[in-house]
Chain A
Amino acid sequence: MRKHAVISGTVAALTLLLLVQSHAQQRGQGGGQAAAPQGGGRGQQGVVVGQFGGQPVVQPLQRGADYRDTLNPNDPAMSGPVPRMPDGHPDLTGPWMGGGSDQDMESDGGLKKGELDALLLPWAKAAKAERSKAIYGEPYIYCLPMSVPRVNPYPWKFVMAYTSKGLQQIFLLHETGDAGAHRVVYMDGRKHPVDPLPTWWGHSTGRWEGDTLVIDTMGYNDKFWFDAVGTPHTEKLHTIERWTRLSYGTLINDFTLDDPATFTKPVQMRFVARIVRPGIDLMEYICAENNQIGIAGGYLDKTDASHIGIGGGPAQPDGKK
């Protein structure tokens, strides 16, 4: 009994300490500069794991399911050295979790509440308000790609594809097929096509600036949502991702969002990814297999997606389909 009291007291004290730390971090980062990214996402408690670009880099503590399969931010392995490829470039492979938008790009990207919304042009503000009332309009829930810079609570990785000519392409693979089977970043010096047909992932070229991988993408379609709250964009979208592996466990995505048809000016955000724990790798995930979204909420009038033919076919030896 007494032991429990001591433990409870310790837990309370530790919690208080973390909360105080977190508030201090937020004050320190936000001070004076309107667009200063906080880097931890969603304003929750976090652990400062280093400094980069004049800002503390914050790894959030547990945040629902998102970080369940990552190293704990306080694990000593997190601060280990950056592994390198034979040509000296940082090994960005991962797999990683986090590092992009998901629930709400504004807070996920370390911005203050209202900061991103304040930059929306009137049509975009109206579009976002409309989407917030039509959550079933989100393409992602129908297994369509999330696109850039979105991530979900599953692992993803860079695949650095070397040929006899060196690093020619980098692929981004997300566990979910709904993220789009793969994204290609051309590292061979080619330019963007002129006036390309807009696509879900656009056209990405990459280059190194020191140890930072810079990915420049244009040619996006306007169909995907940046987050679950429907932050909009147009085909004028142009993104620049600056990926820097700070340590073994932390990967920074300093992200420039540039869409002059949606926002009044380019926006700078910071997302932070975390290395998965040992033994975790991407698994098969065929999203459209048995997607029952919309039925429990009454949006789709179907009794059961497993009765509409998907996965049907001849009876199995045990008589089951």
Chain B
Amino acid sequence: MRTSLGVLLAGLGVLFLTAPVAAHHGFDTEYDKDKDITGTGVVSKVEWTNPHMHVYIDVTDASGKVTTYNLELTSPNAIQRQGWNKNDLLAGEKVTFKAHAGKVVESRGALDSLVKVSAPKQEIFKGQRPEGPGSN
């Protein structure tokens, strides 16, 4: 019974997450929600800063060229309130990410999903995108 209720609530949650949310802090001017960037690389820096948190990931391509992706999240306070803390992601960890690309600077993105390569099923900072479309 408990499981059914959980699934039911999760189902309701998914339904309401689809409600459109207008831009906040300029999401639509900064990022292209239809242009995804993905990659696997090494976390070089995690900034628990205001107004929004940033995670920097170094991705090395086949030729050895390193691109640093700067991914924006929501406020560190909002993220802490959902139970995350500074030990959940550390510099040096290998991760795979998906993000909405910056409209002009593609190496900047609004984080969509992030997992450690060591635990690919456990999404880190789940649902903590910058305020904007689907930010919940």
- The answer to whether A228 and B24 touch (CB under 8 A), given A65-B78, A290-B47, A298-B103, is yes
Q: Which residues of B contact A65 (CB under 8 A)?
A: 21, 74, 78, 131, 135-136
Type the 1/0 row for B59-92, where 1 means its CB is closer than 8 Å to any CB of A.
0000000000010101101101110000000000
Residue A130 at the chain B interface, CB threshold 8 Å:
no
Number of interface residues of B (CB under 8 A): 46
Shortest B96–chain A CB gap in Å is 21
Chain A residue with Cβ nearest B5: A7
- The answer to whether A290 and B103 touch (CB under 8 A), given A11-B12, A62-B16, A64-B21, is no
Q: Which residues of A contact B8 (CB under 8 A)?
A: 7, 10-11
Residue B41 at the chain A interface, CB threshold 8 Å:
no
Shortest B37–chain A CB gap in Å is 11
**CA gap between A304 and B54 in the complex, in Å:** 11
Chain B residue with Cβ nearest A303: B105
Q: How many A-B residue pairs have CB under 8 A?
A: 139
**Contact in complex: B78, A228 (CB < 8 Å):** no
Residue A14 at the chain B interface, CB threshold 8 Å:
yes
Q: Which residues of A contact B102 (CB under 8 A)?
A: 295-298
| Prevailing SS type, chain B contact patch | mixed
Type the 1/0 row for A111-130, where 1 means its CB is closer than 8 Å to any CB of B.
00000000000000000000
Shortest A302–chain B CB gap in Å is 10
Q: Which residues of B contact A104 (CB under 8 A)?
A: 22
Q: Which residues of A contact B131 (CB under 8 A)?
A: 64-65, 152-153
| Prevailing SS type, chain A contact patch | loop
Residue A154 at the chain B interface, CB threshold 8 Å:
yes
10 contacts between A and B (CB under 8 A): A15-B15, A65-B131, A68-B136, A103-B22, A290-B51, A292-B54, A292-B70, A292-B108, A297-B105, A304-B70
Chain A residues with CB under 8 Å of chain B are 3-4, 7-8, 10-11, 14-15, 44-45, 61-65, 68-69, 102-104, 135-136, 138, 141, 143, 152-154, 175-178, 228, 280, 283-299, 304, 306, 311
For the complex of A and B, 10 pairs with smallest distance between CB atoms = A298-B104, A296-B102, A64-B21, A290-B49, A296-B108, A103-B22, A11-B11, A297-B30, A62-B16, A283-B77
Q: A7-B8, A62-B13, A104-B22 are in contact. List 4 more A-B contacts (CB 8 A).
A: A62-B19, A153-B24, A178-B51, A296-B102
